[in-house]
Amino acid sequence: MKNFDPNAAATKDSGIFGLPFSFEESELVLLPVPWDATTSYGGGACRGPAAIFKASKQIDLFDKELGNFFESGIFMLKISSEIQKMNEVAYVAARKIIENELSSDSTLFSTVNDLSLKLNKYVYEETRELLNQGKKVGLIGGDHSVPFGSIQAHLEKYPNMSVLHIDAHADLRNTFEGFEYSHASIMYNVLTKTNLKKLVQVGVRDFCEEEWCFMKNNKNKIITFFDAEIAEKKLSGHIWSTLCDEILHDMGEEVYISFDIDGLDPRFCPHTGTPVPGGLEYHEVLYLFKKLIRSGRRVIGFDLNEVSLGSTQEASSHVLEPAQEWDANVGARLLYKLCGLILRDTHNKIT
């Protein structure tokens, strides 16, 4: 840090956001998870972590509201080649099931589900170990199935935490296309396989009847702010600040943020796997974060998922088209804000 100039351009060999910190020097460690095996529409989320890392070096470090929180140290772990290989195997098996409707091939299902369990174990153990070392942890996906182990590990340390879930989808399916740990089932799995007490969902606008019934039957645990209802209230004269107060009302003091980028309006994430019309504005999300901190609550962990470069074929090149870079650019900027939220206790409080 001694010779580091935060106003200068990032160097080629620098870390995430162009920072110079080592693992040992960093208070916050980012865990990249290149996994998108169960994606059911568009692919490419497995390349999200690498794309975000590259785009992050374009970000100015000074934050008017959160100050120089980066001085606490942010370090991104290397992308695991083992997880990449696992994803390739699971992805091929899943595609055979989805595209060829091989629903009777139990071997293919076992391949996907067994590798998904292995992924969950990896994420859980990595997150738990980092937390035990006193690190704060953020996860970068990958599709939205990947944070199960992260949420599980955070719950062990913060048993009373609430989850703020920003997403176009409810992610409350029991299974989807036969996959137990589908990206469409992440919150169902969290609610049925952990002791999470409160899930607050924002921006949801695409869900099935099964999920609707699950919400109604679990009103003590799930509060959903549907996108259509948010839009109707805004069109009727309600201000976003008041709506944010409603969103935050039932959350505990410790909050884990699970952010699927398709919770935003698709113009901010055109290549995400399952875009849906509508959604939150970029600055609405940032204002919600600001209100969360002003309320006295504390962000104790987060994940950011579904930042995609398009289909696997589109994303195979190391040279990104401008349209693909946009997704990574937005993702990197959201990631930096999330880092600021979790580190803000050691620096300037939000204004």
Rounded distance between C-alpha atoms, residue 21 and residue 135, angstroms: 14
Q: Which CATH class is domain 16-346?
A: alpha beta
In this predicted structure, what is the pLDDT of residue 346? Answer: 55
Higher pLDDT, 321 or 247: 247
Owner of token pair 């497995």: 46
Task: Please tell me the pTM assigned to this model.
Answer: 0.94
Rounded distance between C-alpha atoms, residue 35 and residue 90, angstroms: 9
The one-letter code for the residue type at 102 is L
Query: What 3-state class would DSSP assign to 256?
Result: strand
* Contact (Cβ atoms closer than 8 angstroms) between residue 24 and residue 75: no
Axis crossing angle, helix 186-193 with helix 148-157, rounded to the nearest 10: 30
Rounded distance between C-alpha atoms, residue 309 and residue 157, angstroms: 34
pLDDT at 314 over 70: no
pLDDT at 341 over 60: yes
In this predicted structure, what is the pLDDT of residue 41? Answer: 74
* Contact (Cβ atoms closer than 8 angstroms) between residue 280 and residue 53: no
pLDDT in tens, 218-238: 999 999 999 999 999 999 999
Map out the domains of the chain as residue ranges: 16-346
Alpha helix segments (H runs only) across 57-105 = 81-100
Query: How close are the terminal C-alpha atoms of the chain, in Å?
Result: 26
In this predicted structure, what is the pLDDT of residue 311? Answer: 63
Q: What is the mean pLDDT of residues 338-349?
A: 79
